[in-house]
Amino acid sequence: MDNSSDVMATAELLTNKLAVWDIEEQKKIFDEKFFGKYIEEEKISYLQLSLEEGMILLERDHITILDKKKKMTVKTFYSLCCKMDPEFSQKYTVYRDLRNRGFIVKSGFKFGTHFRVYNRGVNPYKSGSKELKEHTKYNVHAVPENYAHSYQEWSRYVRLSQNIRAKALLAVVDEEADVTYYVITRIRP
């Protein structure tokens, strides 16, 4: 079903990310929904959306995605994302679950995880001093239920999370696409 009245923006696929070029459309997606981040490269600027952000906006009929000027369907875009990112399936399942619960979800790449999560209803882009800004509530790492990991990997992840005063969560996606969240903490004896 095409709800073109709900479409807020058109995004163009650029390798492994999406770009919204129109300034008014950028504002609708960024200011109203807290999706994306602004990118300034040389003489161009655009709103960049991650694959997960693009997928949920496409599923909700809020954006149109173009690849070489051809409109993509949800199924085609999902398949392409899975080819580009072997972890996309579990990452997107967790991303969608968190967004459906009302959380604001951003990339956690620089913190060694998949997502940074902010409380429901907060503006993660509040301006002002550092004390006034909203802080990441959770660092969330999405894994399939048969995932194997090293203790060193989780130690780094927990320490990075604690350094920014965030809880480290492990989001385990089972074969039925249900998500179970586990808090990982470091205990000092």
Under 8 Å between Cβ of 36 and 53: yes
Q: What is the pLDDT of residue 149?
A: 78
Where residue 3 falls among pLDDT bands split at 50, 70, 90?
Answer: very low
Q: Is 64 left (phi over 0), alpha (psi -120 to 50) or beta?
A: beta
Q: How far apart are the C-alpha atoms of 124 and 105, rounded to whole Å? A: 9
Residue 155 shares a structural domain with residue 79: no
131: containing domain: 88-184
152's enclosing H/E stretch is helix 151-163
175 within 8 A of 148, measured Cβ to Cβ: no
Residue 129 confidence (pLDDT) above 70: no
Last-in-domain residue among 55, 84, 113 = 84
Domain's final residue, options 31, 57, 84: 84
Average pLDDT, the chain: 87
**Residue at token pair 């800004």:** 133
Q: Which of 84, 99, 115 is at the close of a domain?
A: 84
Taking residues 34-49, report their average pLDDT: 90
**DSSP conformation class of 189:** -
Is a pLDDT exceeding 80 seen at residue 16? yes
Model confidence at 158, pLDDT cuts 50, 70, 90, reads confident
**Residue range 65-82: average pLDDT?**
96
Query: Does residue 153 contact residue 170 with C-beta atoms inside 8 Å?
Result: no
- Provide mean pLDDT across the span 59-73: 95
pLDDT value for 133: 55
The answer to whether position 58 is within a domain reads yes
Is residue 1 scored above 50 in pLDDT? Answer: no
Residues 27, 113: Cα–Cα separation, whole Å: 27
Say if residue 140 is in the same domain as residue 73.
Answer: no
> Residue 131 above 60 pLDDT?
no
Q: Residue 43: pLDDT above 60?
A: yes
The domain total for the chain is 2
Q: If pLDDT is split at 50, 70 and 90, which confidence band does 155 have?
A: confident
Residue 76 sits in the same domain as residue 113: no
Q: What is the pLDDT of residue 59?
A: 96
Question: Rounded mean pLDDT of 21-28?
Answer: 92
Strands, DSSP E only, in the chain? 9-14, 17-20, 37-41, 44-49, 63-67, 70-71, 104-107, 115-118, 138-144, 167-173, 179-184
Q: Which two three-digit tokens encode residue 67?
A: 């690849």
The residue among 128 and 45 whose pLDDT is bigger is 45
74-100 pLDDT, tens digit per residue, is 999 999 999 999 999 999 999 999 999
DSSP lists the bridge partners of residue 136 as none
Q: What are phi and psi of 56, to 5 degrees?
A: -70, -35
